[in-house]
Amino acid sequence: MIRGTTQVLGVIGYPIEHSLSPIMHNAAIATLGVDYAYLPFAIAPHDLPTAVAGLWALGVQGFNVTIPHKQAIMPLLHEISPVAQAIGAVNTVYRTATGWGGTNTDAIGFLAPLKAMPRNWSTAHAVILGNGGAARAVVAGCAQLGCESITVVGRDAAKLNAFLHSWSDPHIAQRLSVKPWEALPTLLREATLLVNTTPVGMHPHDTDSPITDEEATLVPAGAIAYDLIYTPRPTRFLRQIQGATTLDGLEMLVQQGAAALELWLQQPVPVDVMRRSLEAHLSR
Ligand code: NAP
């Protein structure tokens, strides 16, 4: 129930109607019985500075940030965590004594299902398809796992080059390389962890995949195929790769949200409730 004492959390983006965050956060809030509500805010890019100041003035306790504001919000924050600085994007904003602070929980979300798998990550070769925003969190996550090599595959040489040179953390930079799409067959043969960070195969384009059927046969048995997409479940990409352990993007979505809610509430949150609320919503 919303009362005079209810504290507000939320998510800003443009558009925002598609966001699943209100569903999972409000499910967790209801289970915990805490006096909070999580709301969606559609904020056009030119309104961002006014809106961020307004959210502060309104006493909003914290908010998530989604497309197109993840980078644009950074100059408006008073502090930015090292992980958000490394990734170059903020997805979670919290109050500090002097102004908004920002962090990024996407790498935590990406890593959560991988950490549950016993592997010798120090010999792992990660191959990442796509070089957009999500790929940055995936690269940071793979470096945190300690992967021996991290190769980002993209279709635009200039963007790939900019991506390669955008990392200042030597722990990341020294294991990262970029390759054009044509190098994929060679890379797939060596891949231990193959991650799709492109939107190819996302609903309603369910029959698309970033790789061909022939390329899929090159992925070694025992590799992990990870698609950040969570609709459809499974994607064509995950169905193509035989003999691999497969992961879709739902757990990443849930875990990045759980990490944000834990930060705001400063208490453990019911991750299973958040997961089930999204599964129920997506299966409708
Ligand atoms: P983005 O910044 O737009 O990046 C998309 C990347 O995919 C770009 O590098 C783009 O290449 C590449 N790409 C697009 N179409 C392609 C094609 N036909 N062939 C090859 N490459 C192509 O998007 P994003 O924010 O990183 O999100 C990417 C995907 O991850 C989306 O499906 C999103 O839903 C998903 N995601 C999931 C989670 C989760 O929690 N599960 C979190 C974040 C994102 P160019 O740069 O050359 O255009």
Angstrom distance (rounded) from CA 24 to CA 32: 12
Closest CA to 55 of 11, 19, 15, 91: 11
Q: Hey, which residues does 94 pair with through a beta bridge? A: 62, 101
Angstrom distance (rounded) from CA 281 to CA 22: 12
- Which of the 8 DSSP states describes residue 45? G
Q: Hey, which residues does 30 pair with through a beta bridge? A: none
- Does the C-beta of 232 come closer than 6 Å to ligand 1? no
- Does the C-beta of 193 come closer than 6 Å to ligand 1? no
Q: Report the nearest atom of ligand 1 relative to the CA of 131.
A: 9
- Does the C-beta of 233 come closer than 6 Å to ligand 1? no
- 36 C-alpha to center of ligand 1: Å? 32
**Looking at residue 218, what is its pLDDT?**
97
pLDDT in tens, 32-83: 999 999 999 999 999 999 999 999 999 999 999 999 999 999 999 999 999 9
Side-chain-side CA neighbours of 260 within 13 Å: the count stands at 36
Question: Can you read off the two tokens belonging to residue 259?
Answer: 């990490």
Say if CB 5 and CB 60 are below 8 A apart. Answer: no
Instruction: Specify whether 179 is catalytic.
Output: no
- 89 C-alpha to center of ligand 1: Å? 15
Instruction: Label residue 89 by pLDDT band (50, 70, 90).
Output: very high
Question: Can you read off the two tokens belonging to residue 124?
Answer: 């792992």
- 95 C-alpha to center of ligand 1: Å? 30
* Residue whose CA lies nearest to ligand 1 atom number 27: 134
- Which of the 8 DSSP states describes residue 107? H
- 132 C-alpha to center of ligand 1: Å? 5
Question: Can you read off the two tokens belonging to residue 179?
Answer: 């390759």
- Does the C-beta of 68 come closer than 6 Å to ligand 1? no
pLDDT in tens, 250-275: 999 999 999 999 999 999 999 999 99
Q: Which residue has the tokens 């595959």?
A: 153
* Residue whose CA lies nearest to ligand 1 atom number 39: 253
Angstrom distance (rounded) from CA 204 to CA 38: 28
- Does the C-beta of 249 come closer than 6 Å to ligand 1? yes
Say if CB 263 and CB 92 are below 8 A apart. Answer: yes
- Does the C-beta of 253 come closer than 6 Å to ligand 1? yes
Percent of the chain residues past pLDDT 70, beyond the cut: 100
| pLDDT mean across residues, the chain | 97
Cis bond before residue 45 (omega within 30° of 0): no
- 129 C-alpha to center of ligand 1: Å? 9
Q: Report the nearest atom of ligand 1 relative to the CA of 156.
A: 47
- Does the C-beta of 154 come closer than 6 Å to ligand 1? yes
Cis bond before residue 234 (omega within 30° of 0): yes
**Looking at residue 284, what is its pLDDT?**
86
SS3 27: helix
How many helices, marked H, and strands, marked E, lie in the chain?
12, 12
Q: Report the nearest atom of ligand 1 relative to the CA of 159.
A: 46
pTM score, whole prediction = 0.96
- Does the C-beta of 139 come closer than 6 Å to ligand 1? no
* Residue whose CA lies nearest to ligand 1 atom number 8: 132
Instruction: Label residue 5 by pLDDT band (50, 70, 90).
Output: very high
